[in-house]
Structure formats: C-alpha cells, structure tokens
C-alpha cells in the first residue's frame, strides 16, 4: 500500500491508499472530485472505495461525483448514514473493515462531530484521523463535549508510537504557534517546528506526522486530564 496526498480546497488533504498489485485505490475524505480524478486518470488507477471520517462538506464533497464515475463504494459510520452522501457500507465502532487487500480497524472518536471515526490501517501502521487529531492540534468541538474529545484522543494515544498520522487539514504551522506559546520550553517542539517550517518553505505537506512526535509536541495530547485539556481547547478557540 502506498499513500498519495492530494491537496483539496484551501487547506484540506484527501488521501489515496493505492494498491499497486491491482491498480486500485481507496480515497479518504474526498473534499472535491477534480483533484482526485486528475490523479487517478493520469496513473490509470481505479477508485474502489470512498472512506469518510465524518460528514462535513469539506470531507464528503467529492462523494457523489466519484461514486458515479467509478462506481465506488462509500464507507462511513452507521450513525451518520443520513449525513454521508451516497453511503453504502455502514461501519460500527471497533469493527474491522476489510475489502480486497484493504484492511482497517474502525474507531469511533466523537467530539468534533458525534459520528466521527478514524481508519486505523494497523498492518501498515497508518491512521486517518480526519478533524479529530491534527498535527500539533485537535479539532474544534462542534457536536460533542470536551470530555468526549479527550477520551477520543486517548484512544489514539495508545497506538504504536511509530504509527503515521494522516489528518484532514494543513493546520500545522498555526497549531505550532499555539503550542509554542503555552509550551515554550519543549525542546522536541522546537525541533518539530524547525522541520515543518522547512517543509512548508519547500512546498511539502507537513503530513504525515507520527504518533511519537505528536506525543512529544502536541500540547493537546500532553494534557493529562479533562480539566487542563478543556482549558487549552478554550484558549485555542480564541487564539
């Protein structure tokens, strides 16, 4: 399996998970159809599955056109069956979703939205975290509570440290500014910021991050209890 990062809209990332053994792919959170189609047509790859982390338009905007063009199967959380356009396969928490050579564990991680899930490709040690865990940040809480979000992040925290994190947006630099403000003595964070500044200067995405880096540098993952997490989330909402 090979991951291709596709920039969409202003600062969204969609991801193609490509199986080179049969030229097929899944797309995670297609914000819009065109950039995905351009890539697939160029490389002659067939889009078999559309995986959605949650129902927000910047994560499902390409569902209908892509499904129509490739007859792809749309896969999402069962609780969001009314909100995910074109949904075919309804997933449950802790389920293993397996199709052809693709295999991922589904984790229900509410907070940003009530039906948010992530796709953990445990064999490849990759996780698609949507708008729940960002590099150096976490999603805004729209439909849940701080406590739910804190619990959801804790589910991700216990995965193997070398797990690669693929999130829904390029928010890393702005997130870094917030982390630096409230965690200014963190040497690992300094190193990470140097790295991402270099990447962005060269026009390279700061994604994927790794769980190890996030545990060392992401102030929201470093919060030890709901109370301190909530305080950070409030500060960030007004940052």
Q: Is residue 56 annotated as a catalytic residue, yes or no?
A: yes
**Is-contact 167 175, C-beta < 8 A?**
no
Distance of CA 181 to the CA centre of its chain: 25
Residue number with CB closer to Zn ion (131 or 213):
131
Residue number with CB closer to Zn ion (48 or 56):
56
Specify the DSSP class assigned to residue 110. -
Q: Is residue 131 annotated as a catalytic residue, yes or no?
A: yes
**Interacting residues with Fe ion between 213 and 232 (CB under 5 A):** none
Residue number with CB closer to Zn ion (33 or 130):
130
170 near Fe ion (CB under 5 A): no
Pick the catalytic residue: 55, 112, 116, 120? 112
Q: Is residue 112 annotated as a catalytic residue, yes or no?
A: yes
Cα separation, 170 vs 10, in Å, equals 9
How many chain residues are in contact with Fe ion, going by CB under 5 A? 3
156, two tokens: 């991700």
Specify the DSSP class assigned to residue 5. E
Upper half-sphere CA count for residue 173 (Cβ side, 13 Å): 12
**Site string (147-186) toward Zn ion, x via CB under 5 A:** ----------------------------------------
Compute how many other C-beta atoms are within 10 angstroms of the C-beta atom of residue 42.
8
Q: Is residue 169 annotated as a catalytic residue, yes or no?
A: yes
SS3 of residue 65 by DSSP: helix
What is the binding site for Zn ion (CB under 5 A)? 56, 131
Q: Which residues are known to be catalytic?
A: 54, 56, 58-59, 112, 131, 169
């Amino acid at each position: 399996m090979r991951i291709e990062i596709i920039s969409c809209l202003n600062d969204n990332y969609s991801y193609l998970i490509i199986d080179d053994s049969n030229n097929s792919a899944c797309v995670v959170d297609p914000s819009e159809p065109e950039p995905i189609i351009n890539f697939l047509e160029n490389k002659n790859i067939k889009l078999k599955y559309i995986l959605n982390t949650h129902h927000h338009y910047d994560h499902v905007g390409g569902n209908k056109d892509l499904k129509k063009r490739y007859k792809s199967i749309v896969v999402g959380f069962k609780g969001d069956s009314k909100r995910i356009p074109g949904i075919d396969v309804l997933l449950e928490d802790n389920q293993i979703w397996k199709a052809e050579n693709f295999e991922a564990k589904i984790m229900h991680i509410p907070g940003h939205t009530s039906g948010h899930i992530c796709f953990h490709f445990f064999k490849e040690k990759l996780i698609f975290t949507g708008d729940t865990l960002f590099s150096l940040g976490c999603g805004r809480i729209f439909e849940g509570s701080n406590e739910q979000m804190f619990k959801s992040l804790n589910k991700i925290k216990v995965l193997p440290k070398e797990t690669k994190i693929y999130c829904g947006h390029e928010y890393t630099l702005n997130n870094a500014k917030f982390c630096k403000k409230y965690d200014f003595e963190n040497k690992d964070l300094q190193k990470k910021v140097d790295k991402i500044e270099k990447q962005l200067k060269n026009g390279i995405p700061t994604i994927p991050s790794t769980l190890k880096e996030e545990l060392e540098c992401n102030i929201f993952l470093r919060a030890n209890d709901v109370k301190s997490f909530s305080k950070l989330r409030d500060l960030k909402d007004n940052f």
